[in-house]
Structure 1
Amino acid sequence: MEVLADLPAGEVLRRLRSFELDAGITYLREDVAEGFRTLRLYEERYALLTSMAEELARQPSAAWSEASRLPLCLLAPNLQGRQLVDEVFTGLGLRAAPRVETDSVPSLFAHVRTDRWASIVPYAGLHVFGVPPGMRAVPLVEPERTAPIGLVTGAREPGPVIARALLEAARHIDTPAVLEGLPPRPGA
């Protein structure tokens, strides 16, 4: 078995169509439904990850417009997570002007650890990578934005054994409760 990470959503779908992948976890946008089997796992939320020295770190939440004024490290423009950030900024009449762009969430956390940049990160990533020491994850509001994340497989029957097993396992996990029930690792 091979596990790939940080593929753009379009690449996940392309590889599912060409039988290069058995399953993928991605944003559930309108283009995902046709020709695929999907199982919604949770609604992704977003947080501003910033230094404790930053004034916004001392607030219970931060507005997206406030986050836009910080020196940002963001995902690359071809990734769905970044496209969502750009949509929020555009809706506010703003434009994201990151100083650093990367193609992976782990890289966002690594850059923020240097204390030179802030980032907008998926809340689920906080449970995986934790909040680096000296940093704080501040929920982003005004607007509150979520995005559905789900397991996607090809619609073909009977489908690969691993895809069927993943779908069956995912049906028995209350992912939102898991994400809500686990506090971010120390440093939050």
Structure 2
Amino acid sequence: MLRSLLLPALLLTLAGCGGAPAAPAPTTEPAPTTTSAAATTTPPTGEVARCVAADLRAGLGEASGEGQRTVSIVYRNVSDRPCEARGVPGVDLRGPDDPNGPVYSVLRQEADGAGATLEPGGSVSATLTYLTDSDGSVGTLGSTGWVPTELVTTPPGDTSQLTVPWNGDTVLRQDGATRPGTYVGPLAAS
């Protein structure tokens, strides 16, 4: 009988001693640190950030060819850090209103993996191929006699744009054509 009275008393005593667990023994190892990817704007060590419009200045080279011409769109890194330029830039030719509107959005060719890491002051270019109003094309392929006033370009992977004055050539517009003679190629080392 004594045993049956002592067992519940012992259990009540042990239940009342449930206090807080003992603190772990101190160690000399530093606590682990964590970082949030959203909190950083610089790439991890060893990686180069993508070039954005704020890093670049754009300009046009000399146009060449007859009927279907080419001109280089040159992008120079004006920042104080290297950046990676890869892909096909967006290109809009803007000018006077015509039956298709004041903006001619140029078709992009597929990227071939070319590109370059641009050191400060380095450059990369994309080739813009465009049709002019040659004798055989007037009135047969699209809007004729249209002279853009500026070229607006968007670096690959960016939404900000750079604007440069157009070179004065007439452009044959082929808005909506599935295989237009005007297109822009991928970035390549200059």
Q: Structure 1-normalised TM-score?
A: 0.25
Highest relative contact order (Cα 8 Å, sep 6+), 1 or 2?
A: 1
Of structures 1 and 2, the larger Rg is shown by 2
Bigger proportion of residues as helix: 1
Q: Structure 2-normalised TM-score?
A: 0.25
